[in-house]
Structure 1
Amino acid sequence: MVSFRTIFQFSLATAKSTSYGNPNIQWGNCNETEVSSTLPIQCGNLDVPLDYTEPTSNAKLTLQLAKVPALSQPSKGSILLNFGGPGETGRDSLGLLASLLQPLSGSHYDLIAFDPRGTGNTISFSCVNNELDMATLVSEFVLGNSSDVALGRLWARGAIDANLCFSMSNETGGLIGTAFVARDLISVVDALGEDGMLRYWGFSYGTTLGATVASMFPERIDKMILDGVQNPHQYYHSLADFEEWTISDLVFSGIFSSCVAAPDNCSLAHENKTAAELEQAVWSLMERVKYHPIPFGNFLLDYSTLKSVIVQSMYSTSSWPTLASLLDALLTGNTSAESAILISLITSTAGSSEQTLQATIGIHCGDRSVRASLFDDMLPTIDRLYNTSRIMGDVTPALSMICAQWKMDAKGRYEGDFQVKTKNPALLIGNTFDGFTPLASAYNVSSGLEGSVVLEVNGYGHSSISLPSACTLKNTAAYWLNGTLPKPGTVCQVDSPPYSNITWADVLAKASGNTTRLNKRDTYALPMF
């Protein structure tokens, strides 16, 4: 456990005084093996302290950064980004999304991301050292309702995984926590040689990172957008993330109500059933494949797989038409269509890679401050998850049970209350129907960030960039360019209703007449645990 003395010293520590204007990151063109992007993108490295709680140590960690230069020059400075997880790499996500983020940020800022600790080629963190153990870890990472014995197996497996991770990575497990990544953000700001102020845009878990760095370094915040806001109090101090799933069932229901409202574009609507009848048919389908999985060649469609595909589709309405086609094929027994659609969905909504899964476990479990000794101690948590959401309640117990038995605390974990006045006020964005980070969490965090404002985006999906909206474009660009916050209570309408096939490219075409830098395929659907 981290000692109270370490926590106290870490929470009071401030950044060393640094003279700005002397950049020490050498940038060069990225190659395809480093970062793939449709835009010019540069790569650079920065050495930072490996352990911020050991000021006398010379041990360093090399951060790998990527930068997309501002479209309009000269640049007004840099915006640092984190795309969530925890466990997602930063550079690959920037390469994919920069063409959208440029107009959303006003096109006058360099966009920078780095692979956080425990991801990419940073600190080595792993829980297994052979393919058999890795295959076992992944195969045992099942949903809590996948069988009547699943929960007991998950608890026992959680003990095995916690021990494996400790035996493999006990020297690095304490060095990948969120508070250290917050310090890495400040180290990057110092090395950029600009004005010494942090401009930051965080999505999903990246909002917990943002709330953490804002609370630790409030005087260093120039501008900050927290988008798809997670509850950081529960992230750090609960046995599970409960608030995240409070409206997940409404989003799941929205798949069917939106389908009935757009019958020409949703294949499920041909049965002339009500939205409630369609939803119940899918619940019955999930229960049926639990006991009678469907073989597709060498692939088996079971409860965990089908539900995981549905959950991944809830990140963005852009995947709802394909999901509806799969569900329709399964419900009508159209086996000739099922295979191709299923393979397409599995490919496009594939879950975390093995490395990402291990990083998620290591970062989130190390950040959590609570543990449980017995399976019975976890049952109230599981019951609360199940009572919070039918669609999401059994998705996260596997992670929660590993974290409950974790053996490595993040060194110097942030222990504050997220009540702070930043140098300049932050903008928080929440979607009306976000099944992973509900609007209530945005208001929860905003209540602690003095002067901050919540912008609501009225649609289904996770974070604002899953919802094409000219209103969002206008408000985010105004904030980055001028620091202009929307009036409290502002609600942005979306320009892409479910099943409409309208994309950000269409919205930007209408706004500027230039879509050469944005592809129709660009979407935002990163996994969040």
Structure 2
Amino acid sequence: MASILQLFFLAAATPSSNSKPEIQWGACNATEVGSSVPIVCGNLEVPLDYTEPSSNATLTLQLARVPASSQPSKGSILFNFGGPGATGRGTLGLLGPALLALTSGHYDLIAFDPRGTGNTLPFSCTDNDIEGDTMLSELILGNSSDVALGRLWTRGTINAELCFQKSKATGSLIGTAFVARDLISVVDALGEDGMLRYWGFSYGTTLGATVASMFPEKIDRMILDGVQNPHQYYNSPADFEEWSFSDNEFSGIFSSCVAAPDLCSLARENSTAAELEQSVWDLIDTVKYHPIALGSFMLDYNTLKAIIVLSMYTTFYWPALTTLLDMLLTGNTQGALAAALEILGGLGPTEEARQMFMSVMGIHCADRTVRLSSFDDFLPVVNKLYNTSKIFGDVTPEITAICAQWKMKAQEIYDGDFKAKTKKPVLFIGNTGDGFTPLTSAYNVSSGFKDSVVLEVNGYGHSSLAVPSTCVLNVVTAYWLNGTLPELGTICQADTPPFSNTTLTKRNAWGDISRHLGKIFQPI
């Protein structure tokens, strides 16, 4: 006899009477897509090249769907989790329980691996893992040595050529405009009301702004959360605005630590936040020239900066980060490796890291319209990044150098002004303490979409997923249920401050989301 779960999957896999036949839902391959809530999978054939309407060549989108927990479903919400390069299906499975709560439970939740990611027209520049690891090993930071920038520029030359030789047949087919059209193809195939409901995070906001600009009449509800500036994404040599608040969030680690000395081991009697921060800057500078041995592992400048960057996705990591920093500053390094690994999640390249890097290069560089002809042209861009952010400025020249010399261009690039009147208004969400996508960007992009509203979330971390807030839960569920926008100027407070004993407890709808934010977004 079939189990209740099997019967549920069977019911979920059966198309409703008004569904189009293009998507046939069925059980997922558990090794590829797993979830603690019911989830089903399906395929959809879409045009390989939307600029060639006479071509019969197609691409298979692999979709995953978490059925609404409250039936009957009011329709579907599509998701993009950022990157570019984050997989859709696996992330939906991971975040399914929390996203059901955040969307009221009345909608089916759908995601697919966008072009250039996962199994969807995967983009690669190497023939094997060894070559991929070599490419990753060259991702040094601009300030890591006095020869680093020259190495990055030359590595960019090499990567651009390797990627062109390996993937020139597909490198123009994975751009954001085509993914926007894929979203509409999914909407049309679902056989619902023909309208797009969408929640995009990080780079997913650039995708959302693109699809909303291209198809404003198709937008029913849309949340753009952790907003990237799409003007700079497409048309600037670097994403300068993204890092304009990074130093403020970095300083917030130390002010939050001093405010909770019983819970933050880095806090020292009579030390100010500014003094603690300066001691860490001194440590960073020391490690550049004198790496620290943690057992058989060498903690160098690049690794320490990587740990700090990952910790800024969410305050969940701040206790581990400040514990590690305290150990390094006091020379009591016993247990320091474990603290580092709690944030890094492991040592050395992984298949996930290799694929993410390939995807970021393939998608972002093909979308970017600006090229630089020489190292001398590259230096002013780097200097502007350095002037924008001390903590992040030397993290991003690696992708800047690669994109500046890229040899492929997306077959279609949205070249409009991101000004549109959507069928129904868009909700933007920005955190006051987001070091990756500042609140400024949410307002800048919102200004182009008529009647849209920005919800401010007073907390640290990247996107609203990083901030446990009952207020955010209430606002977004009301928006999904009724299309209700918050009043202009609404600010949601975090339920708990950083370094709180109750931060991210399982009673919260966010659960353990913050454990995974670094893996999900991975901007470069």
TM over 0.5: yes
Cα deviation, 1:96-141, whole Å, max 9, x if unaligned, reads 1111111111110000000000111111311111333222211111
Identify which range, 227-236 or 293-302, moves more after superposition: 293-302
Partner SS state of residue 474, structure 1: helix
In 2, distance between residues paired with 1:522 and 1:319?
8
Q: Distance in 1 between matches of 2:210 and 2:226?
A: 15
Task: List aligned pairs for 1:196-211, cutoff 5 A.
Answer: 196-211=194-209
Q: Distance in 2 between matches of 1:354 and 1:456?
A: 34
1:65 deviates by: 0.7
Match of 1:524 in 2: 517
Aligned pairs (5 A) from 1:434-449: 434-449=434-449
* 1:309–1:401 CA distance, 2 compared to 1 (3 A): same
Which residue of structure 1 aligns with residue 90 of structure 2? 92
Give, in angstroms, the shift of residue 296 of structure 1. Answer: 2.7
Q: Distance in 1 between matches of 2:474 and 2:399?
A: 38
Separation in structure 2 between the aligned mates of residue 524 and residue 157 of structure 1, nearest angstrom: 28
Match of residue 120 from structure 2 = 122
Distance 1:518 1:306, change over 3 A: closer
Q: Match of 2:416?
A: 416
CA contact (8 A) 1:460 1:467 kept: yes
Aligned-pair identity in percent equals: 66
Aligned to 1:239: 237
Alpha-carbon contact 1:97-1:522 (below 8 Å) kept: no
The equivalent of 2:368 in structure 1 is 368
Alignment of 1:29-428 (within 5 A): 29-270=27-268, 272-347=270-345, 353-428=353-428
Residues 252, 522 of structure 1: alpha-carbon distance in 2 compared, 3 angstrom cutoff: closer
Q: Secondary structure at the match of 2:227?
A: coil
Report Cα offsets for 1:229-278 as digits up to 9, x if no partner: 00000000000000001110000000000000001110101454211111
Question: Matched residues in 1 for 2:513 and 2:199: separation?
Answer: 23
Aligned counterparts of 1:349 and 1:20: Cα–Cα separation in 2: 50
Q: In the alignment, is the contact (CA less than 8 A) between 1:21 and 1:195 conserved in 2?
A: no
- Distance in 2, Cα, partners of 1:141 & 1:121: 25
3-state secondary structure, aligned to 1:492? strand
The residue number in structure 2 matching 1:16 is none
Work out the CA distance in 2 between the residues paired with 1:229 and 1:308: 22
Name stretches of at least 5 consecutive residues in structure 1 with no aligned partner.
Answer: 1-18, 509-514
Aligned AA (2:235): H
Q: CA deviation at 1:29?
A: 1.9
Count residues with an aligned counterpart: 504
Structure 1's 81 and 74: CA in aligned 2 closer, same or farther, altered over 3 A? same
Question: After the TM superposition, which of the residue ranges 461-470 and 339-348 deviates more from structure 2?
Answer: 339-348
Would you say the 8 A contact 1:453–1:488 is kept in 2? yes
Matched letter for residue 269 of structure 1: A
Question: 2: CA distance between counterparts of 1:237 and 1:389?
Answer: 20
Matched, 1:472 2:465: no
**Is the Cα–Cα contact under 8 Å of residues 20 and 190 in structure 1 kept in the other structure?**
no
| Equivalent position of 2:11 in the other structure | none
Distance 2:348 2:317 in 1: 12
Distance 1:128 1:348, change over 3 A: closer
Displacement of 1:528: 2.1
Paired with 2:336 and 2:321, the residues of 1 have a C-alpha distance of 11
Cα 1:518–1:313 change in 2 (3 A) is closer
> Is the 1:83–1:204 contact (alpha carbons within 8 Å) kept by the matching residues of 2?
yes
CA RMSD in angstroms, aligned pairs only? 1.8
Contact 1:318 1:501 in 2 (8 A): no
CA-CA distance at 1:83 after TM superposition: 0.2
CA contact (8 A) 2:466 2:514 kept: no
* Whole-angstrom distance in 2 between the partners of 1:162 and 1:524: 29
C-alpha displacement of 1:418? 0.4
Partner Cα distance (1:117, 1:81) in 2: 14
Would the aligned equivalents of 1:495 and 1:507 in 2 still touch at CA under 8 Å? no
Change (3 A) 1:347 1:245: same
Unmatched tracts of structure 2, length 5 or more: 1-16
Q: Which amino acid aligns with 1:56?
A: S
Shift of the alpha carbon at 1:340? Answer: 1.9
